Amino acid sequence: MSNHSNIKNLLLLFIFLNSNVQILLAQNPEKCATVSVAKRLADENPALIDIRKQYEKDIQQWIENNKSLRLSEDQEAIKTIPVVVHVVYKNTTENISNSVITSQLNVLNKDFRKLNTDMVPSSHPFYTIAGDAGIEFCLASVDPSGNPTSGITRTSTTVSRFSDDEKVKSSATGGANAWDTKKYLNLWVCDLGSSLLGYATFPDLNAFPSVDGVVIGYQYFGLSGTIGGANNLGRTATHEIGHWLDLYHIWGDEPDCDADDEVTDTPKQAGENYSCPAASNGFATDACTGSNPGIMYQNYMDYTDDACMSIFTNGQICRMKAVLNTTRTGLFTGVRCSGTTAVNTSIADKIRIYPNPVNHYISIEGLPQTKQPYFNVTFINMLGKVIYTTQFSYKDALLELGDLNTGTYIMTISNDDFYTTQKITVVK
């Protein structure tokens, strides 16, 4: 962290610098409304300012206490966040398909694990700063009442367009109510117009459970094709969930070189970047850096096009891990991604995974034909740790589990078009 004794309170700064910010926003489109929403919520609920200060202290303390953790050791402890997607639609275009939702989960599971294939090349100076956050996402298979679910809710609305307020988060105002925000990441997908891509709440909004979560325009959710323009690769969710895990914009949200994002390994930069500012060597500079490799426009927390962003840094990952170990620990109290579910529940009924409990070999039958000819399989233990991964290329598979210890695991089977989970018990 850049300066422990002088931790910046972004919300207060925004109050003081509001006039400058308004000028900045007038010149450039506000792709993400997270910071302005945080300012408004703090204006409406002054208690949030103290809550935020306390949360920042908790985060810094956790980072201080855990700085001796070697990243390689910490990477073993994969944390899986249960997700509910609330689709709030007025027409069929806004009622995005299950496969688009699955594609979004797959993007998140690549971006937060440094498995994305568009990473900067290994020769680039930023390559070694980029890290694996060790965070994965699953569509919830158990709802707040303990019933099986696909992890997707669909709500027809008469509202033509939502904005950066809380209306989409309440059935009373044409939206969908949140599921317990301490236990689930709530993602609302709706019409936000064409210029606003999305907004999130910082972790202090955990104190206001009905609004804690992320809202994303339907055009920008998942692999959305031409409808999403240059924001069609699912990176809006990556960016907004970064905020939800307490990351700031990489330029520090002020148009100068003093502002910082409270992360030491991201270079200072004067402002946000649009499009893709890369020179052919992958470097770009601005008023703050002035020399190569310059600014990190490839960071998920900039405003660049989806195809141009590919990095969370180790410093950013440290902040996110601190949040998951302090303010957002409720996400991991209990297993909410278990049982047989698929994004298409009619498919889930046809899948046969047996025997269960299993001793050595397990059969998987009835998987749908998908564009991708293979499926990825992951076994996660009850501590959230990935124990075993494999891939199979056949419609019906026989997996050998002889090396797995006795115990209960969550098995996920997925590819770009498909996702399902099943609780598996291994006996010897």
Q: Which is nearer to Zn ion, 55 or 199 (CB)?
A: 199
Catalytic-residue membership of 94 = no
| Number of residues engaging Zn ion in binding (CB under 5 A) | 2
Contact call for residues 247 and 261 (beta carbons, < 8 A): yes
Burial of 260 (C-beta count, 10 Å sphere; 0-12/13-18/19+): buried
Q: Which is nearer to Zn ion, 211 or 426 (CB)?
A: 211
Cβ-proximal residues to 61 (8 Å cutoff; 6+ apart), any chain: none
Least CB distance to Zn ion at residue 284 (A): 19
Choosing from 240, 254, 262, 272, the catalytic residue is 240
Least CB distance to Zn ion at residue 136 (A): 22
Least CB distance to Zn ion at residue 385 (A): 31
- How many angstroms separate the first and last alpha carbons of the chain? 48
Site stretch for Zn ion (CB under 5 A), options 27-35, 98-106, 223-231, 263-271: 27-35
Contact call for residues 244 and 201 (beta carbons, < 8 A): yes
Q: Which is nearer to Zn ion, 79 or 235 (CB)?
A: 235
Residue nearest to Zn ion (CB): 32
Tokens of 152: 């997707």
Tokens of 44: 């409406």
Contact call for residues 209 and 144 (beta carbons, < 8 A): no
Q: Which is nearer to Zn ion, 233 or 337 (CB)?
A: 233
Kindly state whether residue 299 participates in binding Zn ion, applying the rule CB under 5 A.
no
Helices (H), 278-408: 314-324, 345-348
Q: Which is nearer to Zn ion, 139 or 196 (CB)?
A: 196
Q: Is 251 helix (H, G, I), strand (E, B) or coil?
A: coil
Kindly state whether residue 34 participates in binding Zn ion, applying the rule CB under 5 A.
yes
Number of H helices, E strands in the chain: 9, 14
Least CB distance to Zn ion at residue 260 (A): 16
Site stretch for Zn ion (CB under 5 A), options 15-23, 24-32, 260-268, 287-295: 24-32
Kindly state whether residue 273 participates in binding Zn ion, applying the rule CB under 5 A.
no
In order of 87, 109, 177, 223, the CA distances from 84 in angstroms are 10, 15, 11, 18
In order of 170, 195, 214, the CA distances from 157 in angstroms are 11, 21, 19
Site stretch for Zn ion (CB under 5 A), options 30-38, 75-83, 111-119, 251-259: 30-38
Least CB distance to Zn ion at residue 242 (A): 8
Among 11, 17, 32, 138, interactor with Zn ion by CB under 5 A: 32
AA identity, residue 278: A
Applying CB under 5 A, which residues contact Zn ion? 32, 34
Q: Which residues are catalytic?
A: 240
